[in-house]
Structure formats: C-alpha cells, structure tokens
Structure 1
Amino acid sequence: MNILIVEDEKRLANALKQILLEQKYMADVVYDGNDALDYGLSGIYDLIILDIMIPYRDGYEVAYELRKNKIETPILMLTAKDAVSDKVTGLNRGADDYMTKPFAPEELLARVKALTRRRGEVIIDEADFGDFNFNASTSTLTKGSKSVHLNFKEAEILKLLIANRDIILSKEDIITKVWGYDSDAGSNNVEAYISFLRRKLNFVNSSTEIKAIKKVGYRLENKG
C-alpha cells in the first residue's frame, strides 16, 4: 500500500513516515501544496495524509483540486485546527476523515486502515491461492509440510499479485506499489524479485506459476 504524506513540519513528516514504514506501508513525503497536487494527481496512492497549513496551496485547495480532477484517493486531513467549522470545510472540500494534532500513532493507524478498506483495498493478513498459503504477518509461504520465509520485497510483490489475481500487473505498477513513486528501481529489479519468488514457489513444490505476459506484465496462475 502506497501512502502520500503532505506535511511541512519535517520532523513530524519523518515521524509519520516511520510509523507507516514500521507497519510495512510504503510512504512518500512532500512539504508543500504544489508538490502535494503534482504527486496526488498521479493517482498512484492508496491514501493521502494531508496537512491543512502548508505553503503555496493549503490543504483545502489541494483536496478540492484533486476531487475536481476526479482523483478518488481517500484523504485524511491532519491539522492543529480543531474547530467544527474547519472540519466541515475540510470535508466539504473532499476530505474523507479529519484528525487533529497531537495524535496517538494507534489512532492514526486505525484511521489509515479504515480509509483504505473503505476504498475497497484488499488487505491480506493470510490468503490461499492455488495450492499454497501465504501468511503476511510472518511473511511465510507454505504448501503442506514445507514452508519458506519471504523477504520484505518478495512478500509485497506476492501480496500485490494475490490481491490482483484477476488482472495483469505491469512492471511499472509493481515498481510504483512496492518501491514507491520516486524510486530508481527499474525492470531489472522486478525481474530479479519475480525470479526469487518463483524459486521459493518451487522450493515448496507449488504448482502455482507467476506467468509473464510478454510486453504486458505478470499474473498468478494456478496450474494444479
């Protein structure tokens, strides 16, 4: 899951990013309204955490412009303003939820989870596909009596493939979701981790295949 943090207080922005990274979310950070709009318009994010008091364009304007451009990404407004009128303004401009500073990390994470689920995001804790089981909390791939641990990138790619089992994922989609919007990762990175995942599927003797669709991308296929 890829989250955009818009917060001009750099210490708070970095703290927010760390909280999310510890929960295995991907997170990009920007510090002003112009960058917030540019990044948000890309449509690649599953959630935007948006401060109101930011330079150039405030959070209200950013939210309004995103909705005007038909960007449906959930927006969580995060601000020191707690007046009812401020909350109403934020919601009317397109925010989905509103949280005031200071906040508890547990509350933030609960709201993040609620907003992404509201959008229909598939949050995988444990899933079966074909003849294998994947436990996201332990990053373990299991078939019968054999199991193997996946590293972080392998686990994120497998979660993405399972969640999108009915469509073909392009390499660009995988890079954006797993490495992040500003990453220098390229096709070779994706190919390498797909190769690692295939080896681990083979290790547990799974008949499931990560099928490469030439010039399009990848999808899971159950050969059993």
Structure 2
Amino acid sequence: MRILLAEDELALSKAYAQVLIMQGYEVEQVYDGKEALEAANSDTYDLMIFDVMMPKMSGLEVLKALREAGNTTYVIMLTAMSELDDKVEGLELGADEYLTKPIPLKELAARVRSLERRIDTNYNENVLTFGSVKLNVSQQELSAKNSIILAGKETKLMEVLMLNKNKKLSTEYIYNHVWSKDDDSDTGYVWIYISYLKQKLKAINANVDILGEENREFELVEV
C-alpha cells in the first residue's frame, strides 16, 4: 500500500514514516500543504495522512481541494487540537479517520492496518462510470453504446483505471493492485490486458481510452 504522509514536524514525520515502513508500506513524505496537494494530484496513493496545521496550506484546505476535485482516496487527519469543531469539520470534508496528537506509534500502525482492511473490503464498488462508460463490477459488464462481458482480470484492471481516472498509473502500481502474489505472472501481463481493454472499449463505442506504452505509465481519459 502506498501512503502519502504530510507532516511539517520533521521528527514526527520521520517517526511516523519509520513505523509505517516497518509494517511493509511504501511512504512518501512531504512537509507542507502545498507539497501535499501537488503530490496527491500528480501521483496515486492508497492512503493519505495529513497534519491539520501545516505551512502554506492546512490539512483541511488540502482535503477540501481534493474532495472537490473528486479525489476519493482514504484520508487520516492528524491534529494537536482537541476541539470537537475541528474534528467535525474534517469529517464533514471527507476525512475517513481523525487522530489527536500525541499519537502512540503502535496506535497509528493499528489504525492504518484497520483502514487497509476497510479499503480492501470496500474497494469493489458495484457500478462505476466515466464518460460514456459504465462498469458493473459484480456482473463484470462494460457498457457504453454497446456492452460486453469482461474476464475477471479485465474487470479488476478496468476498476483500478476507473477509480483513478485521469491519473497516470505505473505498470508496477497496476500489477500490484490487480494480480496477487500467488499468480503465475509478471508485470508483462499488464500491457497484454491493457491491450485487451483498449480493443473492448472500441467495441462498445466508448468515448474513453487508455493512454500509455508498454512498461510505462497508463491513464484512462476521455477522448
């Protein structure tokens, strides 16, 4: 799981990052709100952790901007303030968890593990839409002017792309979110299945396409 950590206190950022890395997570650290917003808009994460009080932009301002732009990535807010109003504002803006400093490192790790389980449980939304395209995940049906039934891996791949529409996803990111460690496969399968989906999008007369080249980044866009 990829985590964006935005915390301006260097010692705390280092401590939080170390405990999360020890749990096997990939962590990118930024140190102000502007950096956090730029990173969230330019890259893809499974979870974002924002301190409320940061230079340039507060964590609440970053969260508000992301939610207004349609970014639904799970967010944990960190704050040294215990006032109820601040927590209510963060939750109303779309935060998924709200932790008050000082935060025991074991508790932070436990909250992230709990959130990861929720992400895994809730990842499959029943119906996703983008442009003229609709993906019924449970029925594995992709439709626009026409419809077609997808194979299992095609459905998971299309789901990842639609949940991250207009974002560039690396081959490695896609592989890690579609193929399990037990699969007898490698990252070369990503391009193969991207090619399958591109053909099927054309077959249903969709107004979206998957841009990108083999072993590089891919992006689902309207055309």
Q: TM-score range by the shorter chain?
A: 0.5 to 0.7
Q: Given the superposition, is the C-alpha separation of residues 118 and 209 from structure 1 closer, same or farther in structure 2, using an over 3 Å criterion?
A: closer
Q: Tell me which residue corresponds to 1:88.
A: 88
SS of 1:61's partner is helix
- Percent identity between the aligned chains? 37
**Paired residues, number:** 153
For the Cα contact (< 8 Å) 2:44–2:169, is it kept in 1?
no
- The Cα RMSD (Å) is 3.5
Match runs of 1:1-224 below 5 Å: 1-42=1-42, 44-120=44-120, 166-167=156-157, 172-174=170-172, 208-210=184-186, 212=188, 213=191, 215-216=213-214
SS of 1:103's partner is coil
The runs of 5 or more residues in structure 2 that have no matched partner are 123-152, 161-167, 193-212, 217-223
SS of 1:55's partner is coil
| TM-score normalised to structure 1 length | 0.59
How far, CA to CA, are the matches of 1:207 and 1:96 in structure 2?
A: 32
Q: Given the superposition, is the C-alpha separation of residues 209 and 48 from structure 1 closer, same or farther in structure 2, using an over 3 Å criterion?
A: closer
Cα shift readout 1:158-209 (whole Å, capped 9, x = no counterpart): xxxxx9995499982316998xxxxxxxxxxxxxxxxxxxxxx9xxxx9934
How far, CA to CA, are the matches of 1:207 and 1:95 in structure 2?
A: 34
For the Cα contact (< 8 Å) 1:74–1:116, is it kept in 2?
no
Q: Given the superposition, is the C-alpha separation of residues 71 and 43 from structure 1 closer, same or farther in structure 2, using an over 3 Å criterion?
A: farther
Cα shift readout 1:90-121 (whole Å, capped 9, x = no counterpart): 11122111001111112111211222222237
Shift in Å, 1:72: 0.7
How far, CA to CA, are the matches of 2:106 and 2:6 in structure 1?
A: 19
How far, CA to CA, are the matches of 1:5 and 1:71 in structure 2?
A: 16
How far, CA to CA, are the matches of 1:208 and 1:78 in structure 2?
A: 40
For the Cα contact (< 8 Å) 1:74–1:95, is it kept in 2?
yes
For the Cα contact (< 8 Å) 2:5–2:29, is it kept in 1?
yes
SS of 1:71's partner is coil
